[in-house]
Amino acid sequence: MFSGIIEEMGAVTVLRKTLAGARLTILASIVMDDLKIGDSVSVNGICLTVVSRSERDFSVEVSPETLSVSTLGGFAVGMPVNLERAMKLNERIGGHLVAGHVDGVGVIRSRQQDSNAIVFTIGAPPEILRYCVAKGSITVDGISLTINAMTEHGFSVAIIPHTAKVTILGLKQVNDTVNLESDLIGKYVERLLQERGQLPKPTISIDTDYLQKRGLI
């Protein structure tokens, strides 16, 4: 599990793609401190397992399924990436609980400056939007963000200057793609409703009003 608080930006130094998936080597600094083979690292929101390491970098292997549902298929040597080590149980959760299991890919539809913040509108597929709600949490390229508002085919989020400086989101422009992971809570609620035979139609968002009307909160 992760918290969605990026520790540093690393850089892809080696990328090998095969029929069995891919292998990445990533140059890093902060996350190398206590990183061991077998540890989990979030790379742009994707939970990957360290298979080897040196003093300055580490390598991970990627399955074909992960390549197909994430932006990882478009990675290139020299590309910056967001990095976060797995949480420790005695640490504060600065963002929200993030599994590192990417649900799909979103597309940046707009980028606007609003005072000191940058506001992004991100288009997303219905299977992700069904778990999104205004003021809820969403993970974008591994970053824990709050949804400002829902749009017809997506949502908007804002980042402060610090986030723009220390993550790759500050480099993103219109039409760039991002990895998305919706909040775990919505998925568990949906499963609960399935067991009760109360599953809503796919076009209905599970929001606060929906839960209140059914006595779930």
Residue 137's CATH number = 2.40.30.20
The verdict on 73 and 127 lying in the same domain is no
92 or 29, which is more confident:
29
User: How would you classify the pairing of strands 177-182 and 104-114?
Assistant: antiparallel
- Mean pLDDT value across the chain: 91
187: confidence class by pLDDT, cuts 50, 70, 90: confident
In one-letter notation, the amino acid at residue 32 is M
Residue 122 resides in a domain: yes
Across the range 24-43, mean pLDDT stands at 98
The verdict on 114 and 78 lying in the same domain is no
189 or 162, which is more confident:
162
211: confidence class by pLDDT, cuts 50, 70, 90: low
Residue 19 is predicted with a pLDDT of 84
Residue 78 resides in a domain: yes
Residue 112 resides in a domain: yes
213: confidence class by pLDDT, cuts 50, 70, 90: low
Tokens 């930006």 map to which residue? 9
- For 105-125, write each residue's pLDDT tens digit: 999 999 999 999 999 999 999
The verdict on 13 and 72 lying in the same domain is yes
Across the range 154-177, mean pLDDT stands at 98
Across the range 77-92, mean pLDDT stands at 92
Residue 160 resides in a domain: yes
The verdict on 114 and 181 lying in the same domain is yes
Range of the domain at 39: 8-85
The model's pTM = 0.86
What share of the chain has pLDDT > 70, as a percent? 91
- For 193-208, write each residue's pLDDT tens digit: 877 777 655 545 555 5
Residue 3 resides in a domain: no
Domains: count for the chain: 2
Across the range 25-41, mean pLDDT stands at 97
